[in-house]
Structure 1
Amino acid sequence: MKAGTTIMYANEKLGERVTKYAEAQSLQLPKPIKDYHARIIEERSDSNYMISTFQSQALIFFARAIGAKRVLEIGVYVGYSAMIWSHAIGPQGKVTGLEYSEEYAKLAQEAWKKQGYENIDVHVGPAAETLPKLADVSEPYDIIFIDADKTGYTGYLSQILEMSAPGAKNRLLRPGGIIAADNTLRHGLVADSSSDNPWQSADFDKEGSVPAANVAAIREYNDLAAANDRLETFLVPLWDGLHLSRLLD
């Protein structure tokens, strides 16, 4: 019987080569999107807020596989992942972004305009306050992507479920829709914060490490989603952890 453990390659060099091979064998991103990703990495010290190009390929494949046409993104940063969703669903689809930072939202809008994306909009402000304003959406979303403040994840999940009640006339997420949450393993600390994890430290909150509050919040999100009888979940141990929940009703 094959083991279910996610095998890490024998060394970092091999892992990098395997990843590059897998990327090359997967659907390709448009050059302008790849160039934008590369420029943000080069120019911004906070570029780790972006998803990777490899994860982008997976999200495009996934969105197209389920025929998604409407995506809600909680946490826009400078607009890269919204471009990915827009590319995945096509110009007839709709991407709605929620972003706390006015600065990030402005940079995202400038990037979308420059690259000709006309089916993305962004609401600026705390997502917990913006979400209720989407209650009267004309059509529910097919995918909701959470990639924002980690301590807010459980609250966003509760709001999404409350606003997607079974049989409701207007609902945020359609029956069978997907909630995808990023960074749900946090360097593996969510699963294992012991000394066996090289990312573990006596004080997670020191500079350059993952805040302990984030680890606890993500662990709570994973537990709540798994225990909710309205959700069918699958936690993917790739990238920094991608949590997928399917709304059953």
Structure 2
Amino acid sequence: MYSATELYPNAHVTEAVHEYSIAHSTPLPEVVEQHRARSIDFANRVGMDPGMMVNTLQAQFMLFLAKLIGAKKVLEVGTFTGYSALAWAEAIKGQEGAKLVCCDIPGPHTEFAKATLLEAGFLNKLVTFFEGDGVETLQSLPVDQFDIIFLDANKDGYLPALKTILSRNLLSARGIVVADNALKQGLVADATDKNPHAANSNPGGVMGYEHIDEFNKFVRDNEQLEQVLLPAFDGLNIIRLKQ
């Protein structure tokens, strides 16, 4: 059966198309591109997985998306080394009332991210950084509304984060929630032995695909919301309030 996601015949062509797409998309600002290399080096040095960053093409997409919808206020739950935060900041800087709120648990990655945002001239100006549990931070944030809310932290926190966003009215009328890793290596669709990632999965863990599946089902069944789940990167569930 034809599937619109079966575009390329093998992994080699898929990788070639990915690199072609990067080369033919608007380049990232130099400060963002340089930070990617520094982040990979940092993560390897401290024993963290650099794969937790969004990839280059996704950063290009995020920056473009923010500009496309005219976003001024962005909330990011899960900042890691600050790579995605830099992309958001570059997208919204210069606008009156622009702000980026970042949330992540304390750790070496958080210090690295804050130092990067400070060096770029964003921290404590355009960017406010909250350290601690993401859901607890959402519950205690000063009342505001955001045009983009990016979820990219522990997957067991996605659903309580979204429920908090809705109950506290944190999403602007024209805003979108972008949930990363919404397909979790395809495990939400197929966690059998036909999926090579199944052997290494931990369904009930904080990064487990069952939490993502529960989140996706909640979004699908919620009458307040409309959404599109894209098989791009590791899956993006892009959600907005029903118009």
| 2:127 counterpart of 1:125 | no
Q: 2:203 aligns with which of 212, 216, 222?
A: 212
1:89-147 Cα offsets, whole Å, 9 max, x none, are 1233210011112433221110111122241111111112111222423xx11010000
Distance 2:142 2:9 in 1: 49
For structure 1, the residue ranges without an aligned partner over 5 or more in a row are: 165-171, 202-208
Q: Is this contact kept in 2: 1:72–1:141, CA < 8 A? A: yes
Q: 1:103 aligns with which of 105, 108, 131?
A: 108
* Paired residues, number: 232
Aligned-residue RMSD, C-alpha: 1.6
Partner of 1:174: 172
AA aligned opposite 1:225:
V
Partner of 1:48: 51
Matches within 5 A, 1:1-249: 3-45=2-44, 46-92=49-95, 93-117=98-122, 118-137=125-144, 140-164=145-169, 172-201=170-199, 209-213=200-204, 214-248=208-242
Give the TM-score normalised by the residue count of structure 2. 0.90
AA aligned opposite 1:106:
E
Give the TM-score normalised by the residue count of structure 1. 0.88
1:158-205 Cα offsets, whole Å, 9 max, x none, are 1111111xxxxxxx111131011001111101111122222222xxxx
Q: Is this contact kept in 2: 1:9–1:15, CA < 8 A? A: yes
What percentage of residue pairs aligned between the two structures are identical? 36
For structure 2, the residue ranges without an aligned partner over 5 or more in a row are: none
Partner of 1:167: none
Q: Is this contact kept in 2: 1:74–1:98, CA < 8 A? A: yes
Distance 2:231 2:218 in 1: 18
- Structure 1 position 152, deviation (Å): 0.9
